[in-house]
């Protein structure tokens, strides 16, 4: 746990979660892991952080058992563990809130649909078509409208098409 | 938006949400608002922050339209707006994650039950008894087991009994 991140005197599960997940950039790294970004260089190109910050955050996530570092074809890849995958409802709920209450001109319009049903998930991540609350592996993300100044890194380009979560990106 | 909090180049609803909600202490202040803590002095006693940080965070939340400052009996009180109340699924999901994956010795054991049904909500905030996903006004929180060194401020003491969210605490 990084200095100044703990909430030592708060006996509270929310505080426990934020001690690990609440650092700046951490949830956006996890978002990228859900998108299926696996390599350090792709994370670096898709996020606006320094190598040092990305390295530090990934080390923290690996130590906390949220992300697993594996060697694949000579380079390390980063994959969500069970604990990492279980952050999906939190990230989804926050993103829904951002879409609804964020500055209108900056909402992404990105949607999340149930694989198979193709129905957009509701505020609670439930499929209105079949009533299930799918895990991230059964969710397909669709991009919002293109904008001037859209990012041109390989991950951003790949995510301009519908993409099933947790499947590798860029392909 | 505080300096160093923005994610200017991330066209992403999660980033939008974190720009407002992601500052240190902000989600714990919102947690207290859901518990029904309304006064500055009670927030201060229940959180481990300075007056300056609490003032700054509350001002940010008021400016962002998440918390409303009202005068009541000669002192200001802080209440969640619609946008503030809508953060409930995010906070609930994070707290569930903390209970499941936080350090075992520091899990709070606090539970959240559907008012009326008295059934514990599931990972998605749904009542297993009736199938509804109640809003926070219909959720009752029950404390975990007491521990040595439990806080003795009035809010902590009041929350050692079951308490319906959004109803004023301490009474």
What's the pLDDT tens digit per position in B12-40?
A: 999 999 999 999 999 999 999 999 999 99
Q: How many CA atoms lie within 13 Å of A27's alpha carbon, on the beta-carbon side?
A: 31
Per-residue pLDDT at B148: 80
Per-residue pLDDT at B104: 80
Nearest chain B alpha carbon to A151? B9
Per-residue pLDDT at A9: 75
Q: How far is A73 from chain B (nearest CA, A)?
A: 30
What's the pLDDT tens digit per position in A33-51?
A: 999 999 999 999 999 899 9
Question: Band of the pLDDT at B5, cuts 50, 70, 90?
Answer: low
Q: What is the CATH number that goes with domain B13-83?
A: 1.10.10.10
For a pLDDT cut of 90, what percent of chain B falls above it? 80
Residue B19, classed as helix, strand or coil, is helix
Report angle CA A14, A15, A19 to the nearest 5 degrees.
Answer: 120
Domain boundaries, chain A: 89-147
Nearest chain A alpha carbon to B148? A11
Which residues on B lie below 8 Å from A123 (Cβ)? 89
Separation CA B66–CA A101 (nearest Å): 9
Instruction: Please report the number of interchain residue pairs, chain A to chain B, with beta-carbon separation below 8 angstroms.
Output: 176
Cβ–Cβ under 8 Å, residues A57 and A32: no
Question: Band of the pLDDT at B169, cuts 50, 70, 90?
Answer: very high
Q: Which two tokens stand for residue B20?
A: 């407002």
Which residues on A lie below 8 Å from B90 (Cβ)? 90, 93-94, 97
Residue A163, classed as helix, strand or coil, is strand
Nearest to B26 by CA among B18, B36, B38: B18
Q: Which two tokens stand for residue B171?
A: 């009474």
Question: Band of the pLDDT at B1, cuts 50, 70, 90?
Answer: very low
Q: Which two tokens stand for residue B164?
A: 């319906």
- Per the prediction, chain B carries an average pLDDT of 92
Cβ–Cβ under 8 Å, residues A66 and A84: yes
Nearest to B171 by CA among B35, B11, B21, B24: B35
Per-residue pLDDT at A2: 42
User: Can you list the residues of chain A whose pLDDT is less than 50?
Assistant: 1-3
Cβ–Cβ under 8 Å, residues B141 and B165: yes
Q: Name the one residue in this structure whose structure tokens are 């009542």.
A: B127
What global pTM score does this model have?
0.94
């Amino acid at each position: 746990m990084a200095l100044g991140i703990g909430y030592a005197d708060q006996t509270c599960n929310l505080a426990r979660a934020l001690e690990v997940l609440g650092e700046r950039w951490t949830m956006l790294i996890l978002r990228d892991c859900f998108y299926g970004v696996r390599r350090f260089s792709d994370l670096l190109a898709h996020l606006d952080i320094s190598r040092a910050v990305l390295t530090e955050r990934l080390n923290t996530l690996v130590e906390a058992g949220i992300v697993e570092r594996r060697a694949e074809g000579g380079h390390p890849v980063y994959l969500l563990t069970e604990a990492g995958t279980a952050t999906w409802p939190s990230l989804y709920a926050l993103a829904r809130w951002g879409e609804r209450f964020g500055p209108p001109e900056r909402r992404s319009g990105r949607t999340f649909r149930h694989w198979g049903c193709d129905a957009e998930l509701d505020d609670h991540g439930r499929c209105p078509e079949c009533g299930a609350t799918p895990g991230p592996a059964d969710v397909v993300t669709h991009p919002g409208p293109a904008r001037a100044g859209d990012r041109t890194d390989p991950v951003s380009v790949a995510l301009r098409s519908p993409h099933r979560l947790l499947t590798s990106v860029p392909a």
